[in-house]
Amino acid sequence: MIISHDLGTTGNKATLVSNDARLIAAVSVNYGADFGPGGRAQQNPHDWWNAMTEANRTLLEKGGITSADVDAISFSGQMMGVVPMDAAGDVVRPAIIWADTRSGTQCDTLIERIGMERAYAITGHRLNPTYSLSKVMWLRDTEPEAFARIDTVMQAKDYLAYRLTGVRVTDPSDASSTNAYDQAASAWSTELIEAAELDPSLFPEIVESTTVIGTVTADAARQTGLAAGTPVVIGGGDGPMAALGAGIIDASSGAYAYLGSSSWVSISADAPLHDPLMRSMTFNHVIPGRFVPTATMQAGGASLSWVTSLLAPGQNDRYKELLGAAASAAASEDGLFFLPHLLGERSPYWNPAARAAFVGLLMHHGRGNMTRAVLEGVAFNLHTGLRAFVENGTSIPSIDAIGGAANSGLLLDIFADVWGVPVSARDLVDEANAIGAAVVAGVGVGIFEGFDTASKFSNRAERRVPDPARHARYGSEYSTFLDAYRRLEPWFDELAR
């Protein structure tokens, strides 16, 4: 048996998987986040640990097994963060997570010293405050006492692996999400770390995602319910891990859309995809030697959660009720648009000052119109990422959707009509990341022969085909959506100043 954990923004989704590639049990344990003014986004790593220990014990009980039956444990985790640890292994301060944008000044310094084009060529990513490197600089500049105690900066899943084993490492997929990794050299970038004026020793050793980094210690066994000596496989970042869980293994696998708090569209490739307009970024895959070109927006599923809590607070089945209203309402067709930049924006604008906005509201617009505008805004924003792939030579005949929001037939319809290709939900939409981590663990300890085992866990459950007339209409409305951002961007930047 394999236990895998997907350490997300809102909680830990954990799975128990059999050695013949069957999902036995799944459990979610939620925790909070601290979002505040100035772009603050933090979490307590101890909450992640407590969620993992609870999930482990629940999985053992639900699966009717003992700790001795667990052959390996592995992780998928939120990326681009900073977990600052001292030499003793204690957390120095709350973890700075992917959504935090406070390091704008430090990022500007990196851009001045390296140049955006040079950094993109090295890392496959723009320099941006959402990445780890400028966040470490921000800690140095704004919290010098805390920074002086830091021995290692880790990613979220690496922290849990450390708590189990006492070993401090990361993998290429998470390393490639830091703005400090040289993809061509497959190593930390001396050029970028020197430009940041940081000590390279802050960054942990990089090992392949399938590496057994150690075993569960006796102390960790007492806390987690696992057996001491259980192999721990390091795993990878949630974006590349979601690709594996969705069956995106090589260039022939097609594209997928992930609909979690942040949302993205992605493909698998044999080399980094460098878009001349830098609309997309490229992560290392959890599969050695492969890459995951991606276009990520900050608040995809988060926009849906936000509008639900705003328009239907405290209602049972409020999400379904709003979707029902949105199904028969007009939004962009009636001149109403939503710019879904609640947490600033990565792809395609890379502007932490970007803000969300309803544009075109009229007196007759109600909850259904506003909800539909949010759905369409997410679809329009992700469409720009897909266009970047196509314009750089990638054929996208269809798209698989995973993540919690992929359960919405209306959203799949809107995606298909906006993007102009069939969109299918996979029948394990919520567990794709954790399934990917289970496959990586299985390959790492020799239970599974290869990464294509991922295809055994899910099927295409629902397929939506674009309506040609609606796709043509959405093409015009997409142009209006882009124009709304262009006109408002100077105002966003002024507000930030």
Domain assignments of the chain as residue spans, ordered by start: 2-234, 241-497
pLDDT the model gives residue 290:
93
Mean pLDDT for the chain?
Answer: 93
Instruction: Give tens-digit pLDDT for 13-31.
Output: 999 999 998 899 999 999 9
Q: What band does 405 get if pLDDT is binned at 50, 70 and 90?
A: low
Burial class (CB in 10 A: 0-12, 13-18, 19+), 148: exposed
pLDDT the model gives residue 316:
63
Instruction: Give tens-digit pLDDT for 439-491.
Output: 999 999 999 999 989 888 877 777 899 999 999 999 999 999 999 999 999 99
* Torsion sign, CA atoms 268, 478, 338, 368: negative
- pLDDT tops 70 at residue 429: no
pLDDT the model gives residue 321:
87
Whether CATH 3.50.50.60 fits 241-497: no
Q: What band does 247 get if pLDDT is binned at 50, 70 and 90?
A: confident
- Return the percentage of the chain with pLDDT > 70, whole number: 99
Report the alpha-carbon distance of residue 170 to residue 206 in Å, rounded: 5
Q: What is the mean pLDDT of residues 392-412?
A: 85
Instruction: Give tens-digit pLDDT for 83-129.
Output: 999 999 999 999 999 999 999 999 999 999 999 999 999 999 999 99
Q: What band does 143 get if pLDDT is binned at 50, 70 and 90?
A: very high
pLDDT the model gives residue 425:
84
Instruction: Give tens-digit pLDDT for 333-349.
Output: 999 999 999 999 989 99
Q: Does 2-234 match 241-497 in CATH topology?
A: yes
Q: What band does 315 get if pLDDT is binned at 50, 70 and 90?
A: low
pLDDT the model gives residue 356:
97
CB neighbour burial string for 1-17, b if at least 16 within 10 angstroms, e if fewer: bbbbbbbbbbbbbbbbb
The residues facing 188 across adjacent strands are 181
Rg (CA), the chain: 22
Report the alpha-carbon distance of residue 89 to residue 110 in Å, rounded: 29
Angle at 230 between CA 225 and CA 231, to 5 degrees: 140
Q: What band does 249 get if pLDDT is binned at 50, 70 and 90?
A: confident
- pLDDT tops 80 at residue 297: yes
pLDDT the model gives residue 409:
86
pLDDT the model gives residue 496:
83
Q: Which CATH class is domain 2-234?
A: alpha beta
Q: What is the mean pLDDT of residues 186-207?
A: 98
What residues contact residue 178 under an 8 Å CB cut-off, 6+ apart? Answer: 80, 131, 132, 133, 155, 203
